[in-house]
Amino acid sequence: MIPRARLWAAALLSALALALWAQVPPVDRLATRKPDLVALKAVDSTIRVDLRYASKDNFMGRAMYPAGAEALLNREAALALSRANAALKPKGYVLLVWDAYRPWSVTRAFWEATPPDKRQFVADPAKGSVHNRGCAVDVTLFDLHSGAEVEMPSGFDEMTERAYPHYSGGTPSARRNRDLLRATMEAQGFSVYPTEWWHFDYKGWNRYPVMDIPFSPEAHPAPGRLPVATPPPQPSPAP
């Protein structure tokens, strides 16, 4: 028979481990590539950037990134995004980026603030988001002639079926814009997320680690600041 005190101690330790786990980014043993975050503006200054989480204009209603935060991506993804942007220019558009690299602690804050029935729209911090790996981008089209964002079937971070890339409602022009964005991104190695027309993962994202480094002016993480934790199961893509 196990003494009751020992059972209590085991339960307490389990609860403590769980609490600690929730505070630490997951580590993926298969993610062996060294992060190489670069500022998008240094790769392609014609890509427009409006980091919505650096302002109050997002579903959280408050700034989640520090003032002056820049759009960062791993170099490969940034170069692919630049190629997509170049392909759009003859058609009268450029890309407008709403989010790129996102620290893991921000992903955790999104999860905690989202009701359980809406959590298909946010990443589980136990797995991390592809944004945390510097390989996902939230992006729309910007019309060079009108000087404004194009019409899309839903707004950014709208948690409804209108956000689904296969949503068949809305206006024909909104669906055309969405499909042009998707085709252009897919041609450069990105894939769209099943519940968000604006979210794209770059191929090979699972080779890069989940990161919780802050935004830095140099846009380069110091290797010593990468998180260390017990490895979880292989994560699946999440927004």
In the complex, the smallest distance separating the C-beta of residue 55 from Zn ion, rounded to whole angstroms, is 16
Contact stretch for Zn ion (CB under 5 A) within 69-77, 138-146, 155-163, 230-238: 138-146
Site for Zn ion in 83-102 (CB under 5 A): none
- Is residue 151 annotated as a catalytic residue, yes or no? no
b/e per residue 173-201 (b: at least 16 CB within 10 A): ebbebbeebbebbeebbbbbbebbbbbbb
In the complex, the smallest distance separating the C-beta of residue 100 from Zn ion, rounded to whole angstroms, is 9
Choice from 138, 157, 201, 212 touching Zn ion (CB under 5 A): 138
Question: Contacts with Zn ion: how many residues (CB under 5 A)?
Answer: 3
**Judged by CB under 5 A, does residue 199 bind Zn ion?**
yes
In the complex, the smallest distance separating the C-beta of residue 163 from Zn ion, rounded to whole angstroms, is 11
**Judged by CB under 5 A, does residue 48 bind Zn ion?**
no
Nearest to 232 by CA among 31, 96, 3: 31
**Judged by CB under 5 A, does residue 52 bind Zn ion?**
no
**Judged by CB under 5 A, does residue 239 bind Zn ion?**
yes
Burial zone of 6 (CB within 10 Å; 0-12 exposed, 13-18 middle, 19+ buried):
exposed
Query: What distance in Å separates the CA atoms of residue 100 and residue 211, rounded to the nearest whole number?
Result: 13
Burial zone of 154 (CB within 10 Å; 0-12 exposed, 13-18 middle, 19+ buried):
buried
Closest-CB residue for Zn ion? 199
**Judged by CB under 5 A, does residue 201 bind Zn ion?**
no
Query: Among all residues, which ones are annotated catalytic?
Result: 196
Using CB under 5 A as the criterion, which residues of the chain lie in contact with Zn ion when the complex forms?
Answer: 138, 199, 239
